[in-house]
């Protein structure tokens, strides 16, 4: 991997737990292969575009990388209902990332809803340039998962296909279809794809106890979290 530069952000109010302080280490890559990122992913890093990051907070250690054991995964009753509610009506199209007015409008609509419902920071209209930098320009081929209800785009996810597993980068959806549990359906779809491809894990990013936007990840069981000593261990809530 060719690293251009690294830096650590100054301590500030945590984006997950407002009563905590967070600090992130960033590394911007000029070039990165799948294997390079797979090693970083297993060490607790995440990425958007060419930028890698992981928490290095002064006092809090509640951010834990979480991955699902694909071969042993069994959906709970709620997840079964989400799968049943969407399997017949929702069409999934997997292809290369791109930006369209439809995606930008859905992205803005999703963030506005999250701001209102969950107190996320206000998010101005997303520009095509920013969207391309975050989701479209990648160091290696990334999959874009588009979910359609009839002709309408209702969800978009980004997934890295690595030898160690599938990594779910980000997912946003139409808040008007919130009762469909599209976020749950997306994770179930990624787990099913990993099983079909013979991959051992699905990486879901950070689980943070007390953050309602991230706690759902622990419900996909069995799963493991990355410990401070670098070992992955079964997660116990």
Q: CA-to-CA distance for 80 and 188, rounded, in angstroms?
A: 9
Residue 32 has pLDDT above 70, yes or no: yes
pLDDT of residue 237: 63
**Lowest-confidence pick of 41-45, 49-53, 56-60:** 56-60
Structural domain boundaries of the chain?
A: 2-63, 64-234
pLDDT at 129: 97
Question: How do residues 133-172 score in pLDDT, each as one tens digit?
Answer: 999 999 999 999 999 999 999 999 999 999 999 999 999 9
Query: Would the pLDDT of 100 be above 80?
Result: yes
The whole-number pLDDT of residue 119 equals 83
pTM score over 0.75:
yes
Q: What is the pLDDT of residues 172-221, one digit of tens each?
A: 999 999 999 999 999 999 999 999 999 999 999 999 999 989 999 999 99
What's the CA gap between 75 and 79, in Å, rounded? 6
* Residue 140 CB-density burial (10 A; 0-12 exposed, 13-18 middle, 19+ buried): middle
Class of domain 64-234 (CATH, top level)? alpha beta
């Amino acid at each position: 991997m060719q690293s251009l530069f690294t830096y650590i952000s100054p301590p500030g109010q945590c984006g997950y737990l407002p009563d905590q302080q967070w600090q992130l280490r960033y590394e911007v890559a000029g070039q990165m292969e799948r294997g390079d990122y797979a090693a970083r992913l297993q060490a607790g890093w995440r990425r958007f575009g060419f930028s890698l990051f992981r928490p290095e907070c002064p006092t809090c250690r509640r951010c834990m990388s979480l991955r699902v054991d694909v071969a042993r995964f069994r959906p709970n009753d709620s997840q079964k209902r989400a799968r049943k509610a969407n399997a017949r009506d929702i069409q999934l199209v997997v292809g290369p990332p791109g930006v369209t007015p439809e995606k930008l409008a859905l992205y803005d609509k999703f963030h506005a809803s999250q701001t209102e419902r969950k107190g996320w920071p206000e998010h101005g209209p997303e520009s095509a340039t920013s969207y391309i930098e975050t989701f479209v320009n990648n160091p290696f081929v990334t999959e874009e998962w588009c979910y359609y209800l009839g002709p309408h785009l209702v969800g978009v996810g980004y997934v890295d296909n690595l030898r160690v597993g599938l990594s779910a980068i980000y997912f946003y959806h139409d808040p008007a279809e919130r009762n469909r549990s599209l976020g749950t359906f997306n994770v179930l779809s990624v787990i099913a794809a990993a099983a079909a491809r013979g991959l051992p894990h699905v990486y879901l990013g950070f689980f943070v106890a007390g953050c309602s936007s991230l706690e759902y990840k622990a419900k996909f069981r069995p799963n493991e979290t990355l410990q401070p000593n670098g070992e992955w261990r079964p997660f116990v809530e």
